[in-house]
Amino acid sequence: SLDTMAARRPIVGGNWKCNPQKLSDLDGLIENINKCDVSKCDVYVCPSPLHVTYCVDKVTNGAAVCPQNCNFKGCGAYTGEMSVEQMKDLKIEWCLIGHSERREYFSESDELLATKLKYILDAGMKCIFCIGEKLPEREKGLEATMAVCIKQLEQVKGMLAPERVVIAWEPVWAIGTGVTATAEQAQETHAEIRKWIAANVSEECAAGIRIQYGGSANSKNAPELSACPDI
Whether residue 6 has pLDDT greater than 80 = no
Name the residue type at position 67.
P
Name the residue type at position 140.
K
213, 188 in Cβ contact below 8 A? Answer: no
Whether residue 5 has pLDDT greater than 60 = no
Confidence (pLDDT) at 215 = 85
User: Which of these is catalytic: 108, 133, 170, 192?
Assistant: 170
Confidence (pLDDT) at 178 = 72
Predicted confidence (pLDDT) per residue in 80-129, tens digit: 999 999 999 999 999 999 999 999 999 999 999 999 999 999 999 999 99
Burial class (CB in 10 A: 0-12, 13-18, 19+), 47: buried
Confidence (pLDDT) at 204 = 96
Whether residue 162 has pLDDT greater than 60 = yes
Confidence (pLDDT) at 175 = 79
Confidence (pLDDT) at 161 = 97
Distance CA 155, CA 131 (A): 12
Q: Is the peptide bond before 20 cis (omega within 30 degrees of 0)?
A: yes
Residue 99 among the catalytic residues:
yes
Predicted confidence (pLDDT) per residue in 36-61, tens digit: 999 999 999 999 999 999 999 999 99
Residue 188 among the catalytic residues:
no
Confidence (pLDDT) at 211 = 98
Whether residue 171 has pLDDT greater than 60 = yes
CA distances from 64 to 39, 59, 161 (A): 13, 8, 19
Distance CA 33, CA 52 (A): 14
User: Which of these is catalytic: 99, 108, 133, 137?
Assistant: 99
Looking from the CA of 50 toward its CB, the CA atoms found within 13 Å total 9
Q: In the predicted model, what is the mean pLDDT of residues 69-83? A: 97
pTM reported for the whole predicted model: 0.95
CA dihedral sign, ordered 64, 67, 70, 75: negative
Predicted confidence (pLDDT) per residue in 122-155, tens digit: 999 999 999 999 999 999 999 999 999 999 999 9
Confidence (pLDDT) at 4 = 59
212, 231 in Cβ contact below 8 A? Answer: yes
Whether residue 183 has pLDDT greater than 90 = yes
Distance CA 11, CA 210 (A): 8
